[in-house]
Amino acid sequence: MMRLLKTAGRKTVVAAMASLLAVIAPLNATAAEDFSNKNWDEIVAAAKGGTVNWFMWGGADNINQYVSAWVGNELSARYDITLNRVGINDTAEAVNLVLGEKQAGVDDTGAVDLIWINGGNFRTMKQGGLVFCGYVDKLPNNALINWQDASIANDFGLAVEGCEVPWNRTQFAFAYDAARTPKPPRSITELIDWVKANPGEFTYPAASDFNGSVFIRHVFYHAAGGPEKLLGDFDQATFDAVAPKAWAILNDMKPHLWRAGNTYPTSITALQQLFSNREVALYFNYDPAIFGINVENGIFPKSTRSYGLKDGTIGNTNYVAIPYNSPNKAAAMVLANFLTSFDAQYEKAKPDVWGAAPAIDAAKLSADQRSRFEALPRNPAVVSSQELAKKALPELHPDWIKAIEKGWQENVAE
Amino acid sequence: MTIKKQGLSWIAWLSLGLMLTWLILPLLPLALWSISHRWYFPDILPSEYSLHAWKYVFSDTAGVMTALGQTTLIALGTTALAVLIGVPAGRALGLYHFKGKALVELLILAPTIVPGIAVVLGIHVVFLKLGLANSLFGVMIVHLIPALPYMVLVMAGVFANYNPAIEAQARSLGANPLQAFWYVTLPAILPGLLVGCFFTFLVSWSQYILTLVIGGGRVATLPLLLFNFATSGRNDITGAIGILYILPGVIVLVLAARHLSGRNSAAGSLRQI
């Protein structure tokens, strides 16, 4: 045993030294290149033979497979770029890596080349100077993106300004089991009555969860009579006028919630488990594609159906961003461009691949491409994104979101 | 005499049975989850089965097999480094009294008290400056932080009951220092050393945040993949990776069991830890 350990140790050290050198060497070769004067062909040429370390949430096997197998193969075949997908639990983990590197003065040899990102994490990166900007209009497929759309040009109310590339569009929706709940509530008003009539059948994750927070915002919009007054920068007076009404609605609901509102699920995964075990009758998610994915992999019953609210639901866009210190910016740009191509967006929209709504604008596609998108079958569990989009509500500025989350914690949770 | 022996073995069988139940029963749902497709409360068994999770785990895109290899390599490397540092340190703490010994012991224990997540970003900055980040070797070094205390404390316990005079006897009988170590010291401390190695291996085996940050995505280990699926509610894939995840621990335990029988005198000292 002892001998075995010693030999293994020696080999390991040699192997580790070799891999250390292998990691450092190519980094220095491409460090700190300036792309502002380069055209697209030069960027594609510079990207050849490179590697992209793409950090993204890794909890869905179908998304992992789409990225590692399909995107990875296409990227290597078309551009001679290697894709290294790094699965993480939380996008903040990747942002913290870049932050640590900045503190250590690692300004051109970072570990992260691309992050799947939006909302608060993007705000952290943009405000901390951690994100690479100003390349987006160089990407040929940028022509397919409708930057006139405020919900694309703003990521949770924060202007994108060429610092990230849209990848998917999502819009909040509710899901239910049609076999168990024939008439689910279709608006916040109906939900309030429904919760009282069906005690213990509904709950929502705490405000610290991404999805719990967006549910609370729907109640907030309802209390404010619509999102109009809440848009733009945070305003304490408006908040103070609306917040008590919202907290009153949620506190009224509280005794009728799952476990009499004594506790809230800490994550959307916990709510998912409660719904699949029929402890609660309703589930919701910011990305309706997850309903279809969950039916396919057996977490949800086949009779799962979904819908938006009569007054509309909040929509957003998620993006990919390149950290300022990525040593493989050219390859990361080529990947970001490929992700917004018709081919990649179409493959991703297939219900058996992912079913994600495209970030590219149908009006900017050819007639043939448009009809191919329209002909895609839809998983019966997933509400049509065109249907949802008819009543899309804007997302709030991060400062508003922070204030609402904090207010919920102080006024409802405690 | 014979009756007494039979009584003892009956108790031994019972406790063995209980141990196996505690060890194996929790694994049954894990195995069942890994082949289930639909399994809703309150069903005792899944209503649909599928090999999807196992197909995914063995597919090239999942990276599970590569991660299994890297996790093993890192855990073995960390253990080897821990032996090199932990045996001399444990000997010093176990055999000698010196000024500030209590402080040294406290400092050695410190990493087990302070959670890794609290210090990992600071460690990241230090490792980046040292050029150790984003490599397999760096990950082994950082795993030493939580793993080394176990090795040092186990070895300190072993050496506390160890009489170095037997080394002097070996030397006076003509053994060189290496021979004295190989034929006298090592057999005496071997069971304790194996326990220390076992702890170190498992502590390294289960690291998440230190591997993620110091590995910088270049180093993918099983916990990284496992937690992705565990936190997103994919019980089928979590079950399949989970089974692979516990296998090496079981294999190491079985391999080491022969040396842990307690027949060796030094093993007795372990009880004092």
The per-residue pLDDT for range A243-267, each reduced to its tens digit, is 999 999 999 999 999 999 999 999 9
Interface of A with B in 240-279 (CB under 8 A): 267, 269, 272-273, 276-279
Distances from the Cα of A14 to the Cαs of A19, A45, A399, B77, B86, in angstroms? 9, 34, 50, 11, 21
Any chain B CB within 8 A of the CB of A16? Answer: yes
| Neighboring chain B residues of A68 at a CB cutoff of 8 Å | 61-63
Q: Is A109 exposed, middle or buried (0-12, 13-18, 19+ CB in 10 A)?
A: buried
- Residue of higher predicted confidence among B170 and A5: B170
Q: What value does the mean pLDDT take over residues A34-42?
A: 89
Please identify which residue in the block is written with the tokens 């960027």.
A43
Q: What value does the mean pLDDT take over residues A346-350?
A: 96
pLDDT of residue A402: 93
Domains of chain B by range and CATH? 51-272 (1.10.3720.10)
**A313: β partners:** A392
pLDDT of residue B248: 81
Q: What value does the mean pLDDT take over residues B82-103?
A: 94
pLDDT of residue B269: 44
Is A111 close to B133, i.e. CB distance below 8 A? yes
The tokens for A214 are 């967006």
pLDDT of residue A21: 44
Return the residue in A12, A96, A273, A302 with the most chain B beta carbons within 10 A, the one to mutate for interface testing: A12
Is B121 close to A86, i.e. CB distance below 8 A? no
Q: What value does the mean pLDDT take over residues B257-266?
A: 58
Is A20 close to B38, i.e. CB distance below 8 A? no
Q: What value does the mean pLDDT take over residues A295-317?
A: 95
Q: What value does the mean pLDDT take over residues B45-64?
A: 92
- pLDDT confidence bin for B41, thresholds 50/70/90: confident
Examine the pLDDT at A20 and tell me if it is beyond 70: no
When CB atoms are compared, the residue of A59, A100, A279 closest to B231 is A59
Examine the pLDDT at A9 and tell me if it is beyond 60: no
Which amino acid belongs to residue A131?
V
State the average pLDDT for chain A: 91
Examine the pLDDT at A6 and tell me if it is beyond 80: no
Examine the pLDDT at A96 and tell me if it is beyond 70: yes
The CATH number of A41-169+317-378 is 3.40.190.10
When CB atoms are compared, the residue of B36, B40, B194 closest to A278 is B40
Query: How far is the alpha carbon of A101 from chain B, nearest alpha carbon, in Å?
Result: 7
Q: What is the DSSP string of A341-356?
A: SHHHHHHHHSTTTT-P
pLDDT of residue A18: 45
Is A9 close to B80, i.e. CB distance below 8 A? yes
Contact B116, B204 (CB under 8 A): no
| Neighboring chain A residues of B217 at a CB cutoff of 8 Å | 53, 55, 84, 86, 97, 111-112
* Range name among A122-126, A284-288, B246-250 with the lowest pLDDT average: B246-250
pLDDT of residue B42: 85
The model's pTM:
0.86
* Range name among B18-27, B87-96, B105-114 with the lowest pLDDT average: B18-27
| Neighboring chain A residues of B125 at a CB cutoff of 8 Å | 100, 103-104
Contact A291, A306 (CB under 8 A): yes
Nearest to A280 by CA among A298, A263, A297, A292: A263
- pLDDT confidence bin for B8, thresholds 50/70/90: low
Query: How far is the alpha carbon of B128 from chain A, nearest alpha carbon, in Å?
Result: 6
Q: What is the DSSP letter of A412?
A: I
How far is Cα B149 from Cα A263, in angstroms, rounded to an integer?
38
Contact A115, A332 (CB under 8 A): no
Q: What value does the mean pLDDT take over residues A258-279?
A: 94
A413 CB neighbour count, 10 Å cutoff: 14
* Range name among A2-11, A29-38, A121-130, B195-204 with the lowest pLDDT average: A2-11
Q: What is the DSSP letter of B182?
A: I
pLDDT of residue A306: 97
pLDDT of residue B260: 67
Query: How far is the alpha carbon of A91 from chain B, nearest alpha carbon, in Å?
Result: 12
How far is Cα B247 from Cα B242, in angstroms, rounded to an integer?
9
Examine the pLDDT at A22 and tell me if it is beyond 90: no
**Hey, where are the domains in chain A?**
41-169+317-378, 171-315+390-413
Q: Is A178 exposed, middle or buried (0-12, 13-18, 19+ CB in 10 A)?
A: middle
Q: Residues of chain A with pLDDT > 70: what percent?
A: 92
Query: How far is the alpha carbon of B33 from chain A, nearest alpha carbon, in Å?
Result: 11
Any chain A CB within 8 A of the CB of B110? Answer: no
Any chain B CB within 8 A of the CB of A25? Answer: no
Q: What value does the mean pLDDT take over residues A142-155?
A: 94
The helices-and-strands tally (H runs, E runs) of chain A is: 17, 12
Distances from the Cα of B117 to the Cαs of A57, A160, B123, B130, B213, in angstroms? 19, 31, 10, 20, 10
- Residue of higher predicted confidence among A5 and B80: B80
The tokens for B10 are 């009956």
How far is Cα A288 from Cα A353, in angstroms, rounded to an integer?
14
CB under 8 Å to B15, separation ≥6 — which residues? none
Examine the pLDDT at A23 and tell me if it is beyond 50: no
Interface of B with A in 65-94 (CB under 8 A): 73, 76-77, 79-81, 83-84
How far is Cα A102 from Cα B263, in angstroms, rounded to an integer?
55
Q: What is the DSSP string of A127-173?
A: HTT-B--S-GGGSGGGGGS-TTSHHHHEETTEE-TTS-EEEEEEE-E
pLDDT tens digits for range A197-234: 999 999 999 999 999 999 999 999 999 999 999 988 89
ipTM above 0.90, yes or no: no
Fold match between domain A41-169+317-378 and domain A171-315+390-413: yes
Q: Residues of chain A with pLDDT > 90: what percent?
A: 85
Q: What value does the mean pLDDT take over residues A310-335?
A: 96
Q: What is the CA radius of gyration of chain A?
A: 23
Nearest CA in chain B to A55: B217
pLDDT of residue B254: 80
| Neighboring chain A residues of B221 at a CB cutoff of 8 Å | none
Q: What value does the mean pLDDT take over residues B174-194?
A: 93
- Residue of higher predicted confidence among A27 and B44: B44
Any chain A CB within 8 A of the CB of B229? Answer: yes
Any chain B CB within 8 A of the CB of A297? Answer: yes
Q: Is B20 left (phi over 0), alpha (psi -120 to 50) or beta?
A: alpha
Q: Yes or no: is domain A171-315+390-413 CATH 3.20.20.110?
A: no
When CB atoms are compared, the residue of B38, B63, B217 closest to A53 is B217
How far is Cα A71 from Cα A77, in angstroms, rounded to an integer?
10
How far is Cα B208 from Cα B224, in angstroms, rounded to an integer?
6
Query: How far is the alpha carbon of B207 from chain A, nearest alpha carbon, in Å?
Result: 14
| Neighboring chain A residues of B124 at a CB cutoff of 8 Å | 97, 100-101, 104
Q: Is B17 exposed, middle or buried (0-12, 13-18, 19+ CB in 10 A)?
A: exposed
Query: How many CA atoms lie within 13 Å of B269's alpha carbon, on the beta-carbon side?
Result: 22
Contact A334, A47 (CB under 8 A): yes
Q: Is A162 left (phi over 0), alpha (psi -120 to 50) or beta?
A: left
